[in-house]
A and B are shown apart, each in its own frame.
Chain A
Amino acid sequence: MATQSVTKEQVEKKIIDSLVEFGADPDEMKPEATLEELEIDSLDLFELGQILNQEFGIEVDPDDFENVKTLGEAQATLVGYLDK
């Protein structure tokens, strides 16, 4: 259960900040960029899920990322947890 006061913008910023911290190029962080182009793999997504869990109490299910191809889709999936 996500904390009510967490905003979409906070989650999106945390996603970008974390992926940059993992080594992704900040200039390439556009919604249409594919995870493959950004060299973001399942290990990064797992770690990102841990961070969002720790920061915002979001419970990430790795199965939800099966069809996620772009950064924008990943952000939408993660932000979507706020409504669950």
Chain B
Amino acid sequence: MSGGPAAITGVGAVTPLGTGAETLYEKWAEGVCGLADGVGACRDYEPTEYFTKKEARRTDRFVQFAIVACDEAIEQAWGGECPYDPSRVACVLGVSMGGSELMFKEYNNLQEKGPQWVSPLTVPVTMPNAPPAVLAMKYGFHGEAHSIASACASSAQAIGVGLRMIRLDEADAVIVGGAEACLTDYILTLFRNAGALSRSGNCRPFDKKRDGFVMGEGAGIMILEKPEEADRRGASVLGELVGYGSSTDGHHLSAPEESGRFAANAMGTAMKDGGLTAEDVSYVNAHGTSTQANDAAETAAVKLALGEAAKNVPISSTKSVVGHSIGAAGGVEAVATLMSLRNRTAPPTVGLDEPDLEQGLDLNYVPGSPQAIEAQNGNGRVVALSNSFAFGGHNATVALTA
């Protein structure tokens, strides 16, 4: 039973491949990898291009990424003027770590120098809800706004909440996605010691030699609107968010449940929610972290969710070129998925040389070069699922069409 779609009218992204959703797609499709020195940093990003000195001082890097990506998406959707009552524009963004750099710098100030040295900006700059708050201040939005924290599933769950808000008529438009910027020695050490980071510094999703993820940073944003309102105002609709599914492993603090059955439930729920069957799915944007555990469990989940249809569907990992941006990943990947659908092209899983057949990783992971995304259901539209699975066992899948 489908609850109806949300129209997607704008997208924006900041990633290690550069600023812009088009840039993200085009470079990925060309096989350009944004990872270097064991991280996926947004090296070309320069705050002064986008923010005044005061704005930059009062926003953490993850907030800035969110605002830059929102600006792009809003410009595409609405140009200079929001067509809706500002009280009917909502914002739900994902984040996991928040403003980690300043938080720990000021903690060190407290320890080393004393409380009188701790910046009064620490809370407003680092708070995980800063991106929707700053966005509302900038644009004068007054609808519901908050952040969702479910580690690597944060943004995908934010997108799901946005879809529900559109369906329940709680807003005319919802700005969804997420942002993250936590490439600090401290946070990298935490993930390394949790056994999640690649020791070699290489991201090789689904490969025999995969040894962990490469941490990235960035933001991915989409503007959701009620389809009838988007139609009424003659909006240029990029695609639709048609379904959302989520589940929880209830298994382990960091490791995925090995059989993938709960992740498969999220995928199945997203398809059912969108009125789709496995045969409709033309592309799967994998969570594809390059950890031993994820890629095996995700492959198992795809097989459970799609059955026979899993054998040929192209499945690729955006993380192979931008790394794992944790709370932003689901937003970045939903944007990348939509762009891939619009271009009818599945960009490749870069770094994949030899699929791990011994562990049953025998699906079509789009190695080497892009593959065509072909309509499966006869109406010319193409359908994709984008997966996000998280520390804590949170699973979330969004279903998109274009």
Q: Once the chains are docked, how many angstroms separate the CA of A54 from the CA of B120?
A: 15
* B54 proximal to A (CB < 8 A): yes
* B275 proximal to A (CB < 8 A): no
Interface centre among A39, A43, A46, A53 (most CB of B within 10 A): A43
**Proximity bits, B315-327, A CB within 8 Å = 1, else 0:** 0000000000000
Chain A: minimal CB distance from B328 (Å): 26
* B252 proximal to A (CB < 8 A): no
Chain B: minimal CB distance from A5 (Å): 22
Are A22 and B116 in contact, with the CB atoms below 8 A? no
Q: Once the chains are docked, how many angstroms separate the CA of A47 from the CA of B119?
A: 7
* A31 proximal to B (CB < 8 A): no
Are A50 and B121 in contact, with the CB atoms below 8 A? no
Chain A: minimal CB distance from B300 (Å): 50
Are A50 and B117 in contact, with the CB atoms below 8 A? yes
Interface residues of B in 19-61 (CB under 8 A from A): 52-58
> In terms of DSSP, what is the predominant structure of the interface of chain B?
helix
Are A43 and B120 in contact, with the CB atoms below 8 A? yes
Are B117 and A24 in contact, with the CB atoms below 8 A? no
**Proximity bits, A33-57, B CB within 8 Å = 1, else 0:** 0000001000100110010011000
Q: Once the chains are docked, how many angstroms separate the CA of A50 from the CA of B116?
A: 7
* B124 proximal to A (CB < 8 A): yes
Chain B: minimal CB distance from A53 (Å): 6
Interface residues of B in 42-96 (CB under 8 A from A): 52-58
Are A23 and B57 in contact, with the CB atoms below 8 A? yes
Residues of B in contact (CB 8 Å), total 13
Are A23 and B121 in contact, with the CB atoms below 8 A? no
Are B116 and A23 in contact, with the CB atoms below 8 A? no
Are A46 and B52 in contact, with the CB atoms below 8 A? no
Are A47 and B54 in contact, with the CB atoms below 8 A? no
Q: Once the chains are docked, how many angstroms separate the CA of A54 from the CA of B54?
A: 22
Chain B: minimal CB distance from A16 (Å): 15
Are B52 and A47 in contact, with the CB atoms below 8 A? no
Selected contact of A23 from candidates B52, B119, B124, CB within 8 Å = B52
Chain A: minimal CB distance from B88 (Å): 29
Residues of B within 8 A of A24 (CB): 54
**Proximity bits, A10-36, B CB within 8 Å = 1, else 0:** 000000000000111000000000000
Selected contact of A43 from candidates B52, B117, B121, CB within 8 Å = B121
Cβ-closest chain B residue relative to A24: B54
Known: A22-B54, A24-B54. A47 touches B117 (CB 8 A): no
Residues of B within 8 A of A54 (CB): 116-117
Cβ-closest chain B residue relative to A53: B116
Residues of B within 8 A of A23 (CB): 52-58
**Proximity bits, B127-139, A CB within 8 Å = 1, else 0:** 0000000000000
Selected contact of B124 from candidates A22, A43, A50, CB within 8 Å = A43
Selected contact of A39 from candidates B54, B56, B121, B124, CB within 8 Å = B54
Q: Once the chains are docked, how many angstroms separate the CA of A39 from the CA of B55?
A: 11
Chain A: minimal CB distance from B321 (Å): 35
Q: Once the chains are docked, how many angstroms separate the CA of A46 from the CA of B120?
A: 7
Residues of A within 8 A of B121 (CB): 43, 47
Chain B: minimal CB distance from A40 (Å): 10
Residues of B within 8 A of A53 (CB): 116
Q: Once the chains are docked, how many angstroms separate the CA of A39 from the CA of B116?
A: 23
**Closest 4 pairs between A and B when the two form their complex, measured CB to CB:** A23-B54, A23-B53, A46-B120, A43-B120
Chain A residues in contact with chain B, CB under 8 A?
Answer: 22-24, 39, 43, 46-47, 50, 53-54
A–B pairs, 16, beta carbons within 8 Å: A22-B54, A22-B57, A23-B53, A23-B54, A23-B55, A23-B56, A24-B54, A43-B58, A43-B120, A46-B120, A47-B120, A47-B121, A50-B117, A50-B120, A53-B116, A54-B117
